[in-house]
Structure 1
Amino acid sequence: MVKRKGNGHFPAAFHFARDYRSHIEEAREALEHAARRMKKHAHRHRRDVEFQVGDLVLLKTNAQMLKTKQVKQRHKGLIPCYDGPFEVVAKIGRVAYRLNIPRRLVFHQVFHVSVLKKYILDSEDATKAEMVLAKREIDWEGHHDCYHKIEYLIKWKNRPVESATWERNSDLWQFEDLLRAYEAT
């Protein structure tokens, strides 16, 4: 850059260099200001969450993560927002956790903390199966395919027997112990 005042042989070069430096400084200040604003807005929704090995967590799901046959048959608006609970097996780095994911879900085992939520057990939760009342197998032949489906009649906790519902075995993965006990009888 030109260091002399404007009384040299090339005053236009001096003015150009001075203006260039001032524009660079303005741009640097604008970038710093934008970075501070972005950081403020980005940290507004962040949360300091840490899980221990053995904790139960819920996993935020979306249609891209759950590319199974059952999900493809449903509208993406009907897919639950969270799936689980899953056990934390290991902490990887500062913000990633390895989960104990069942075989029915065919994706990786490590997730960022932003897609995890602490599972809180509700003892009055009506979505807990109390017992399996019956089993039925359905064979259906469609135009192009034939299907074999197994359903169980589930009595839900804190609900009368009359409100028992038929559920597909693929939807009852969290009640595998209950299904095994029913099959053993």
Structure 2
Amino acid sequence: MRTAQRRQKSYADNRRRDLEFSVGDHVFIRVAPMKGVMRFGKKGKLAPRFIEPFEILDKIGALAYRVALPPSLDGVHNVFHVSMLRKYISNPSHVLSCEPLQLSPHMTYKERPDRILDRQERRLRNKSIPMVKVGWLHHTDEEANWESEVDIRTRYPELFGKL
């Protein structure tokens, strides 16, 4: 029995991470998905496990931190155990560019493709499908996606005049 306990302790010690944050750091907060409950606009498997970066206001004891929460989460207590937090590592691509959009009266806008970046043929067993990589207006080239050339050509024929 003692050897089994020693083995379990060695496994646990190898996997343990001592996390420590300082005031001003940004962290993600873990949320637990619940079956049938919609959280943050997503339901089920696609529900986020961690939500947006929040700033740490102060350290409470050895393992708890007070976090600055927005007014939309005022019903949630703002002190979290270190196990509920993940460090946010800043990335320049996370900075949102604020370009003026033409919004409709319903506060929506139509997403439009801007350019064709690349072409390729997807080969299936019996046929090949022509695909185009579409760059969208107000988005970077990393956010471009592959679409069927036939669909894009029927919806946006003006794009193929630019080639």
Question: Given the two structures, how large is their TM-score scaled by the length of structure 1?
Answer: 0.49
Q: In 2 relative to 1, CA 153–85 (structure 1 residues): closer, same or farther, beyond 3 Å?
A: farther
Matched, 1:95 2:71: no
Partner of 2:137: 161
AA aligned opposite 2:31: T
User: Deviation string for 1:121-154 (max 9, x for gaps)?
Assistant: 11123x735235244565xxxxxxxxxxxx4549
AA aligned opposite 1:40: S
Matched, 1:33 2:9: no
The correspondence for 1:54, drawn from 24, 27, 31, is 24
Identity within the alignment, % = 33
Task: Tell me which protein shows more helix as a share of its residues.
Answer: 1
User: Deviation string for 1:130-181 (max 9, x for gaps)?
Assistant: 235244565xxxxxxxxxxxx45499xxx853559xxxxxxxxxxxxxxxxx
1:130 and 1:154 in contact (8 A); partners too: no
CA–CA distance in 1 between the matches of 2:110 and 2:57?
A: 30
Q: Which has the larger radius of gyration?
A: 1
CA–CA distance in 2 between the matches of 1:98 and 1:57?
A: 11
Q: How does 1:1-185 map to 2 (within 5 A)?
A: 30=1, 32-64=2-34, 71=39, 74-105=42-73, 106-125=75-94, 128-136=96-104, 151-153=107-109, 160-161=136-137
User: Deviation string for 1:40-68 (max 9, x for gaps)?
Assistant: 2222321122111111111122225xx7x
2:40 and 2:47 in contact (8 A); partners too: no
RMSD across aligned positions (CA) = 3.2
The count of aligned residue pairs is: 114
**1:91 shift after superposition:** 0.8
- Any stretches of 5+ residues in structure 1 without a counterpart? 1-29, 139-150, 165-185
CA–CA distance in 2 between the matches of 1:120 and 1:34?
A: 38
CA–CA distance in 2 between the matches of 1:154 and 1:110?
A: 40
AA aligned opposite 2:80: F
SS of residue paired to 1:124: helix
**1:92 shift after superposition:** 1.3
AA aligned opposite 2:8: M
AA aligned opposite 2:98: E
